[in-house]
Amino acid sequence: MSLDVFFFFIFGAAAVGSALAVITRRNPVASALWMIGYFLTLAGLYLTLRAPLVAAMQVLIYAGAVMVLVVFVIMLLNLGNPEQLRERFNPQVGAASAFGALLILQLLVLFLSRPTGYKSPSPQAAEIGAPESLGKLLFTDYLFPFEAVSLLLLAAIVGAVILAKRKLEP
Protein backbone atom coordinates (compact mmCIF):
# COMPACT_ATOMS: atom_id res chain seq x y z
CA MET A 1 0.00 0.00 0.00
CA SER A 2 2.87 2.40 0.60
CA LEU A 3 3.65 1.99 -3.10
CA ASP A 4 0.36 3.81 -3.81
CA VAL A 5 1.50 6.75 -1.69
CA PHE A 6 4.82 6.86 -3.53
CA PHE A 7 3.18 6.83 -6.96
CA PHE A 8 0.59 9.39 -5.85
CA PHE A 9 3.30 11.92 -5.07
CA ILE A 10 5.31 11.13 -8.23
CA PHE A 11 2.30 11.38 -10.57
CA GLY A 12 0.72 14.25 -8.64
CA ALA A 13 3.85 16.41 -8.90
CA ALA A 14 4.21 15.48 -12.59
CA ALA A 15 0.55 16.34 -13.25
CA VAL A 16 0.80 19.79 -11.62
CA GLY A 17 4.12 20.47 -13.37
CA SER A 18 2.88 19.50 -16.82
CA ALA A 19 -0.40 21.40 -16.36
CA LEU A 20 1.62 24.52 -15.48
CA ALA A 21 3.82 23.91 -18.53
CA VAL A 22 0.72 23.66 -20.76
CA ILE A 23 -0.53 27.11 -19.78
CA THR A 24 2.90 28.83 -19.83
CA ARG A 25 4.53 27.58 -23.08
CA ARG A 26 4.50 30.16 -25.85
CA ASN A 27 4.38 27.65 -28.72
CA PRO A 28 1.02 25.81 -28.98
CA VAL A 29 2.77 22.63 -30.19
CA ALA A 30 4.87 22.54 -26.99
CA SER A 31 1.69 23.05 -24.96
CA ALA A 32 0.02 20.16 -26.80
CA LEU A 33 2.95 17.85 -26.06
CA TRP A 34 2.90 18.79 -22.35
CA MET A 35 -0.85 18.15 -22.45
CA ILE A 36 -0.17 14.55 -23.51
CA GLY A 37 2.12 14.20 -20.50
CA TYR A 38 -0.62 15.59 -18.28
CA PHE A 39 -3.14 13.03 -19.57
CA LEU A 40 -0.67 10.17 -19.06
CA THR A 41 0.10 11.19 -15.45
CA LEU A 42 -3.64 11.31 -14.76
CA ALA A 43 -3.92 7.76 -16.12
CA GLY A 44 -1.23 6.79 -13.59
CA LEU A 45 -3.23 8.41 -10.80
CA TYR A 46 -6.31 6.42 -11.84
CA LEU A 47 -4.23 3.26 -11.52
CA THR A 48 -3.31 4.16 -7.93
CA LEU A 49 -7.08 4.36 -7.31
CA ARG A 50 -7.61 0.84 -8.74
CA ALA A 51 -9.49 2.07 -11.81
CA PRO A 52 -7.74 0.34 -14.73
CA LEU A 53 -10.62 0.78 -17.20
CA VAL A 54 -10.77 4.54 -16.64
CA ALA A 55 -6.98 4.71 -17.00
CA ALA A 56 -7.08 2.83 -20.31
CA MET A 57 -9.91 5.07 -21.57
CA GLN A 58 -7.91 8.13 -20.52
CA VAL A 59 -4.93 7.04 -22.63
CA LEU A 60 -7.07 5.98 -25.62
CA ILE A 61 -9.51 8.90 -25.75
CA TYR A 62 -7.54 11.85 -24.39
CA ALA A 63 -3.87 11.11 -25.07
CA GLY A 64 -4.85 9.41 -28.32
CA ALA A 65 -7.91 10.82 -30.06
CA VAL A 66 -8.37 14.31 -28.59
CA MET A 67 -4.69 15.28 -28.71
CA VAL A 68 -4.28 14.04 -32.29
CA LEU A 69 -7.19 16.32 -33.19
CA VAL A 70 -5.63 19.28 -31.35
CA VAL A 71 -2.17 18.79 -32.89
CA PHE A 72 -3.77 18.34 -36.33
CA VAL A 73 -5.63 21.66 -35.99
CA ILE A 74 -2.46 23.44 -34.79
CA MET A 75 -0.60 22.19 -37.86
CA LEU A 76 -3.54 23.02 -40.15
CA LEU A 77 -3.79 26.62 -38.97
CA ASN A 78 -0.13 27.48 -39.69
CA LEU A 79 0.15 30.21 -37.07
CA GLY A 80 3.35 31.69 -38.48
CA ASN A 81 6.85 31.59 -37.07
CA PRO A 82 7.28 31.09 -33.32
CA GLU A 83 8.74 34.57 -32.80
CA GLN A 84 5.40 36.14 -33.69
CA LEU A 85 3.58 33.96 -31.17
CA ARG A 86 4.80 36.06 -28.24
CA GLU A 87 1.88 36.84 -25.99
CA ARG A 88 1.48 40.54 -25.46
CA PHE A 89 1.91 41.61 -21.87
CA ASN A 90 -1.39 42.21 -20.21
CA PRO A 91 -2.30 42.97 -16.60
CA GLN A 92 -4.72 40.05 -16.75
CA VAL A 93 -1.89 37.65 -15.92
CA GLY A 94 -1.33 39.18 -12.51
CA ALA A 95 -5.02 39.41 -11.73
CA ALA A 96 -5.64 35.83 -12.88
CA SER A 97 -2.75 34.48 -10.79
CA ALA A 98 -4.08 36.29 -7.73
CA PHE A 99 -7.53 34.88 -8.43
CA GLY A 100 -6.07 31.39 -8.80
CA ALA A 101 -4.21 31.67 -5.49
CA LEU A 102 -7.42 32.82 -3.84
CA LEU A 103 -9.38 29.91 -5.33
CA ILE A 104 -6.79 27.36 -4.13
CA LEU A 105 -6.80 28.93 -0.66
CA GLN A 106 -10.59 28.75 -0.56
CA LEU A 107 -10.65 25.09 -1.62
CA LEU A 108 -7.92 24.24 0.92
CA VAL A 109 -9.86 25.84 3.75
CA LEU A 110 -13.06 24.18 2.56
CA PHE A 111 -11.65 20.67 2.43
CA LEU A 112 -9.28 20.78 5.40
CA SER A 113 -11.72 22.40 7.86
CA ARG A 114 -14.21 19.54 7.52
CA PRO A 115 -12.44 16.18 7.12
CA THR A 116 -14.41 13.65 5.10
CA GLY A 117 -13.38 10.82 7.41
CA TYR A 118 -12.33 8.51 4.57
CA LYS A 119 -8.79 7.54 5.53
CA SER A 120 -8.21 4.76 3.01
CA PRO A 121 -9.79 3.43 -0.20
CA SER A 122 -12.80 1.19 0.13
CA PRO A 123 -11.98 -2.53 0.26
CA GLN A 124 -14.20 -3.09 -2.79
CA ALA A 125 -12.30 -0.46 -4.81
CA ALA A 126 -10.59 -3.07 -6.99
CA GLU A 127 -13.78 -4.89 -7.94
CA ILE A 128 -15.65 -1.62 -8.58
CA GLY A 129 -13.03 -0.45 -11.06
CA ALA A 130 -12.89 -3.78 -12.87
CA PRO A 131 -14.11 -3.67 -16.50
CA GLU A 132 -16.66 -6.47 -15.89
CA SER A 133 -18.62 -4.69 -13.16
CA LEU A 134 -18.47 -1.27 -14.86
CA GLY A 135 -19.57 -2.77 -18.19
CA LYS A 136 -22.45 -4.60 -16.55
CA LEU A 137 -23.69 -1.38 -14.91
CA LEU A 138 -23.24 0.60 -18.12
CA PHE A 139 -25.34 -1.80 -20.17
CA THR A 140 -28.10 -2.40 -17.59
CA ASP A 141 -28.86 0.48 -15.22
CA TYR A 142 -27.23 3.15 -17.37
CA LEU A 143 -28.35 1.99 -20.80
CA PHE A 144 -30.42 5.09 -21.52
CA PRO A 145 -27.65 7.63 -20.76
CA PHE A 146 -25.30 5.42 -22.78
CA GLU A 147 -27.57 5.63 -25.83
CA ALA A 148 -28.10 9.35 -25.27
CA VAL A 149 -24.33 9.85 -25.35
CA SER A 150 -24.15 8.11 -28.73
CA LEU A 151 -26.73 10.59 -30.03
CA LEU A 152 -24.65 13.45 -28.60
CA LEU A 153 -21.52 12.17 -30.36
CA LEU A 154 -23.44 11.90 -33.66
CA ALA A 155 -24.63 15.50 -33.26
CA ALA A 156 -21.05 16.59 -32.48
CA ILE A 157 -19.68 14.85 -35.59
CA VAL A 158 -22.29 16.46 -37.86
CA GLY A 159 -21.78 19.83 -36.17
CA ALA A 160 -18.00 19.68 -36.51
CA VAL A 161 -18.23 18.79 -40.21
CA ILE A 162 -20.72 21.59 -40.91
CA LEU A 163 -18.65 24.16 -38.98
CA ALA A 164 -15.36 23.23 -40.64
CA LYS A 165 -16.78 23.06 -44.16
CA ARG A 166 -15.65 25.76 -46.51
CA LYS A 167 -19.04 26.53 -48.04
CA LEU A 168 -22.50 25.40 -47.03
CA GLU A 169 -23.80 25.09 -50.61
CA PRO A 170 -23.47 21.57 -52.06
Partner 1 sequence: MQQLPLEAYVLLSATLFTVGVVGVLTRRNALLILMSIEIMLNAVNLSLVAFSAYLGDAEGQLLVFFVMAVAAAEAAVGLAIVIALFRNQQTVYVDEVNLMRW
2 binds partner 1 (CB under 8 A): yes
CA–CA dist 146, 139 (Å, integer): 8
Provide CB contacts within 8 A for 86, sequence distance 6+: 26
Scanning residues 37 to 56, which ones bind partner 1 (CB under 8 A)? 38-39, 42, 45-46, 49-51, 53-54
Among residues 10, 12, 14, 37, which is the contact residue for partner 1, using CB under 8 A? 12
Kindly state the smallest distance separating residue 149's Cβ from partner 1, in Å. 5
Among residues 82, 143, 147, 160, which is the contact residue for partner 1, using CB under 8 A? 160
Among residues 82, 111, 143, 147, which is the contact residue for partner 1, using CB under 8 A? 111
Kindly state the smallest distance separating residue 83's Cβ from partner 1, in Å. 15
Axis-axis angle for helices 2-24, 28-48 (nearest 10): 160
CA–CA dist 20, 38 (Å, integer): 10
Q: Write out the DSSP string of 49-66.
A: TT-HHHHHHIIIIIIIII
143 binds partner 1 (CB under 8 A): no
CA–CA dist 146, 99 (Å, integer): 37
Among residues 164, 168, 169, 170, which is the contact residue for partner 1, using CB under 8 A? 164
107 binds partner 1 (CB under 8 A): yes
109 binds partner 1 (CB under 8 A): no
Closest CA to 76 of 168, 169, 166, 16: 166
132 binds partner 1 (CB under 8 A): no
